[in-house]
């Protein structure tokens, strides 16, 4: 594991420190919502503060660092992306969608609080993400972050990817690598890419000439590759892992007839594709020097992950 | 009907012209989403362009006019509030929520497209509302509008009101006017109030000293009263109207054991309360002179409505 190495940059410690920052702030953000019904806040908190890797916030912090910002600048944006991710998990788990009873070993939101409250907790979280941006940033940064977050998570982004993903359960869909990657680019990729944009805007949003376009482009290439590698390793864990480790039923995606990388390419070729994409991501951020190092380590970590 | 009178200001024509503007722009906004799945856009369009009174956009235009703005300035904000309203209707109608098969005589979104797509269409609309603001306004206006919209529609606003409303089906809730009005202030009132704020920010958001506080306060009083009168007349239509007119099953709320104004106060006292609130709303905007006239007419129209 990269996080256990003796490199000067320790990814494990880095992720743990950012996770603490984000989880503390997420708790504070919910605690401030004193005009909201207590049971709604409880359902939001249950899912938002459930154990998670907080990968998306980590990408925000890493992009902010690459853009010369501070963690305090990145924190609201890091919370906003985690809030969006959480709402999407709550709605995905619903009986009408993936119909999951457990997530990481805990009852899903609708199993714990009922379907109606789970739907509304998801809606409230989605809304809260934009509220957090607007409450914490100056106007130019708010506007840039709201735009990037909406584009990454809406009809042409994450939600669109979910819709395409649902269609995979129908037998008439094209079973090609292009089609598979189109779905994943949307379902998970666009939000990862939004995380990186938000990190840059959090750091540079008030610059009179706007954020650094070259940096945004480099990070977007990184984000595109990162999302695909994340999905390939997710698929490999689904096929090869065990339920204790991954916290979800192994082989579930494949059993549903969803197209997966190993199902389409085989495990070896899937791994080769993941390695090539990892290299492309690293090449994109290498010119950033030390400021891009955390991104390099995170990419290698995602390639090597087994849970 | 006020709209049929010979007053210089013709509310019926006013509402019709704004409705045309809004529906055309809503269609354009969806047509631009070429990177989204076609079936998702179709579900969003089905609900967004279903027949509606477009009352919330009308409030945005009227507030913009009171603030000295132009219809072109108000239009994106008017679309954003209608998009939020539409997502809330789609999610409310779901089997786990109100379980409605028809809305204004048409199959509800989930009856037409299935539950999964209806949930996702709602999520995509919610997200689109913030995207429309960020895409169409300069930064200060975007930030002010996103904040007002999120606060009005989120956990402490509309969604919170929905959560409280669900609890009414339980027999242990306090059956008092305060409790009833608390729910309606949130469930419908906060979004009406947000509409008025958005109209002012759309017109004045770029002023160096910010939007006119006195105007915002006057319109907020108006919005609070407007929301309650809207709910009282809605309850009266539910008790006294017929399904052909209102497009929903008459007496349905009462049959579910939900607390209603006529159920709590009787029809006569409910009407008296609506009249008093109408007067309070009109008093709040009378100092605006001609610029506030549409708001006065709309308030009287909502008091007198029978559908």
**What is the average per-residue pLDDT within B71-98?**
97
A291, with CB counted inside 10 A (0-12, 13-18, 19+), is: middle
- Token digits for B296? 């006065």
Asked if the C-beta of A237 comes within 8 angstroms of chain B's C-beta atoms, the answer is no
User: Is the CB of B156 less than 8 angstroms away from the CB of A33?
Assistant: yes
User: Is the CB of A156 less than 8 angstroms away from the CB of B36?
Assistant: yes
**What is the average per-residue pLDDT within A253-265?**
79
Distance CA A87, CA A84 (A): 5
Using pLDDT thresholds of 50, 70 and 90, give the confidence band for residue B2.
very low
Distance CA B267, CA B240 (A): 9
- Token digits for B13? 């024509």
B190, with CB counted inside 10 A (0-12, 13-18, 19+), is: buried
Distance CA B116, CA B123 (A): 11
A30, A37, A179: which to substitute to probe chain B, counting the most B Cβ within 10 Å? A37
Q: What percentage of chain A exceeds 90 in pLDDT?
A: 79
Q: What is the pLDDT of residue A7?
A: 52
Nearest-CB residue to A155 (from B33, B146, B156): B33
- Asked if A18 contacts B141 with a C-beta cutoff of 8 angstroms, the reply is no
Using pLDDT thresholds of 50, 70 and 90, give the confidence band for residue B48.
very high
Q: Centre a 10 Å sphere on the Cβ of residue B288 and count the other Cβ atoms it contains.
A: 18
Using the Cα atoms of residue B48, residue B54, residue B56 and residue B59 in order, give the sign of their dihedral.
positive
Task: Render pLDDT for B104-163 as a digit per residue (tens, 0 to 9).
Answer: 899 999 999 999 999 999 999 999 999 999 999 999 999 999 999 999 999 999 999 999
- Token digits for A191? 């939000």
CA distance to partner chain A, nearest, from residue B62 (Å): 25
- Token digits for A254? 């494949």
Q: What is the pTM of this model?
A: 0.94
CA distance to partner chain B, nearest, from residue A9 (Å): 37
Mean pLDDT of chain B: 92
Asked if the C-beta of B254 comes within 8 angstroms of chain A's C-beta atoms, the answer is no
pLDDT exceeds cutoff 80 at A168: no
Angle between helices A71-93 and B115-136 in degrees, nearest 10: 150
- Asked if A84 contacts A127 with a C-beta cutoff of 8 angstroms, the reply is no
Distance CA A178, CA B182 (A): 52
Nearest-CB residue to A163 (from B120, B140, B162): B120
Using pLDDT thresholds of 50, 70 and 90, give the confidence band for residue B255.
low
Asked if the C-beta of A6 comes within 8 angstroms of chain B's C-beta atoms, the answer is no
Angle between helices A267-285 and A293-304 in degrees, nearest 10: 180
Task: Render pLDDT for B270-294 as a digit per residue (tens, 0 to 9).
Answer: 999 999 999 999 999 999 999 999 9
- Asked if A12 contacts A19 with a C-beta cutoff of 8 angstroms, the reply is no
Chain A contact set for B127 (CB, 8 A): 126, 150, 153-155, 159
Q: Judging by DSSP bridges, how do beta strands B106-107 and A106-107 pair with one another?
A: unpaired
Task: Render pLDDT for A138-157 as a digit per residue (tens, 0 to 9).
Answer: 999 999 999 999 999 999 99
Q: What is the pLDDT of residue B46?
A: 98
Distance CA A83, CA A93 (A): 16
Nearest-CB residue to B160 (from A36, A87, A146): A36
Q: What is the ipTM of this complex?
A: 0.94
- In the stretch 262-291 of chain B, residues with CB closer than 8 A to chain A read none
DSSP per-residue string spanning A88-127: HHHHHHSTTTT--SEETTEE-HHHHH-HHHHHHHHHHHHH
User: Is the CB of B130 less than 8 angstroms away from the CB of A153?
Assistant: no
What residues contact B24, with CB distance under 8 A and at least 6 apart? none
Distance CA A270, CA A263 (A): 9
pLDDT: which is higher, A257 or A298? A298
Among the listed ranges A63-72, A232-241, A279-288, B113-122, which one has the minimum average pLDDT value? A232-241
Task: Render pLDDT for A174-213 as a digit per residue (tens, 0 to 9).
Answer: 888 998 898 889 989 999 999 999 999 999 999 999 999 9
What is the DSSP-derived secondary structure letter of residue B106?
A: E
CA distance to partner chain A, nearest, from residue B51 (Å): 23
Nearest-CB residue to B155 (from A124, A154, A156): A124
Chain B contact set for A204 (CB, 8 A): none
CA distance to partner chain B, nearest, from residue A17 (Å): 29
Using pLDDT thresholds of 50, 70 and 90, give the confidence band for residue B202.
very high
Q: Which CATH number fits domain B9-304: 3.30.420.40, 3.40.50.720, 3.40.1440.10, 1.10.600.10?
A: 1.10.600.10
Asked if the C-beta of B243 comes within 8 angstroms of chain A's C-beta atoms, the answer is no
B79, B114, B123: which to substitute to probe chain A, counting the most A Cβ within 10 Å? B123
Distance CA B51, CA B35 (A): 26
Identify any residues that bridge with B300 across adjacent strands, giving them in sequence order: none
DSSP per-residue string spanning chain A: -GGGS-SSS-HHHHHHHHHHHHHHHHHHHHHT-TTS-HHHHHHHHHHHTSS---HHHHHHHHHHHHTT--HHHHHHHHHHHHHHHHHHHHHHHSTTTT--SEETTEE-HHHHH-HHHHHHHHHHHHHHHHHHHHHHS-HHHHHHHHHHHHHHHSTTTHHHHHHHHHHTTSTTS--SHHHHHHHHIIIIIHHHHHHHHHHHHHHHTT-TT-S-HHHHHHHHHHHHHHHHHHHHHHHHHHHHS-HHHHSS-TTHHHHTT---HHHHH-HHHHHHHHHHHHHHHHHHHGGGGGGGHHHHHHHHHHHH---
Q: How many CB pairs under 8 A join A and B?
A: 172
Asked if the C-beta of B296 comes within 8 angstroms of chain A's C-beta atoms, the answer is no
A47, A115, A155: which to substitute to probe chain B, counting the most B Cβ within 10 Å? A155
**What is the average per-residue pLDDT within B55-67?**
98
Chain B contact set for A140 (CB, 8 A): 139
Distance CA A77, CA A94 (A): 27
- Asked if A303 contacts A270 with a C-beta cutoff of 8 angstroms, the reply is no
Chain A contact set for B86 (CB, 8 A): none
B154, B157, B198: which to substitute to probe chain A, counting the most A Cβ within 10 Å? B154
Domain boundaries A2-304, corresponding CATH code: 1.10.600.10
Q: Which residue of B has its CA nearest to A146?
A: B134
Nearest-CB residue to B131 (from A135, A139, A150): A150
A43, A159, A189: which to substitute to probe chain B, counting the most B Cβ within 10 Å? A159
Question: DSSP H helical segments within chain B, as ranges?
Answer: 11-31, 38-48, 55-66, 71-92, 109-113, 115-136, 139-153, 158-167, 177-184, 190-204, 213-240, 243-246, 252-255, 261-265, 267-285, 293-304
- Asked if B196 contacts B55 with a C-beta cutoff of 8 angstroms, the reply is no
Every domain of chain A and the residues it spans: 2-304
What is the phi/psi pair of residue A107, to 5°?
A: -55, 140
- Asked if A270 contacts A232 with a C-beta cutoff of 8 angstroms, the reply is yes
Asked if the C-beta of B156 comes within 8 angstroms of chain A's C-beta atoms, the answer is yes
- Asked if B218 contacts B265 with a C-beta cutoff of 8 angstroms, the reply is no
Using pLDDT thresholds of 50, 70 and 90, give the confidence band for residue A173.
confident
User: Is the CB of B147 less than 8 angstroms away from the CB of A127?
Assistant: no
CA distance to partner chain B, nearest, from residue A179 (Å): 13
B130, B161, B186: which to substitute to probe chain A, counting the most A Cβ within 10 Å? B130
| Residue entry with tokens 């930030």 | B143
- In the stretch 50-109 of chain B, residues with CB closer than 8 A to chain A read 87-88, 91, 94, 96-97
């Amino acid at each position: 594991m990269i996080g256990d190495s003796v490199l000067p940059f320790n990814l494990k410690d880095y992720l743990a420190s950012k996770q603490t920052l984000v989880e503390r702030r997420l708790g504070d953000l919910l605690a401030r919502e004193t005009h909201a019904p207590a049971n709604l806040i409880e359902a939001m908190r249950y899912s938002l503060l459930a154990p998670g890797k907080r990968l998306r916030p980590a990408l925000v912090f890493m992009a902010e660092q690459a853009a010369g910002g501070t963690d305090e600048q990145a924190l609201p944006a890091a919370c906003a992306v985690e809030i969006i991710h959480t709402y999407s998990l709550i709605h995905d788990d619903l009986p009408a969608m993936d119909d999951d009873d457990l997530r990481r070993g805990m009852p899903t939101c609708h199993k714990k609080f009922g379907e109606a409250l789970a739907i509304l907790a998801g809606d409230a979280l989605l809304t809260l993400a934009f509220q957090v941006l607007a409450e914490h940033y100056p106007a130019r940064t708010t506007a840039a972050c709201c735009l990037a977050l909406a584009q990454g998570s809406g009809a042409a982004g994450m939600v669109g990817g979910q819709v395409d993903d649902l269609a995979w359960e129908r037998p008439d869909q094209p079973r090609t690598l292009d089609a598979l990657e189109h779905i994943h680019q949307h379902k998970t990729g666009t939000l990862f890419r939004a995380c990186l944009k938000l990190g840059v805007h959090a750091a540079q949003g008030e610059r009179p000439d706007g954020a650094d376009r070259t940096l945004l482009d480099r990070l977007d290439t990184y984000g595109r590759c990162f999302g695909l590698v994340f999905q390939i390793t997710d698929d490999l864990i689904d096929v090869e892992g065990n339920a204790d480790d991954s916290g979800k039923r192994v082989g579930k995606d494949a059993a549903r007839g969803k197209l997966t990388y190993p199902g389409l390419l085989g495990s070896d070729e899937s791994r080769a594709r993941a390695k090539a994409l990892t290299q492309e991501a690293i090449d994109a951020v290498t010119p950033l020097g030390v400021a891009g190092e955390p991104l390099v380590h995170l990419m290698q970590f995602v390639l090597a992950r087994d849970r």
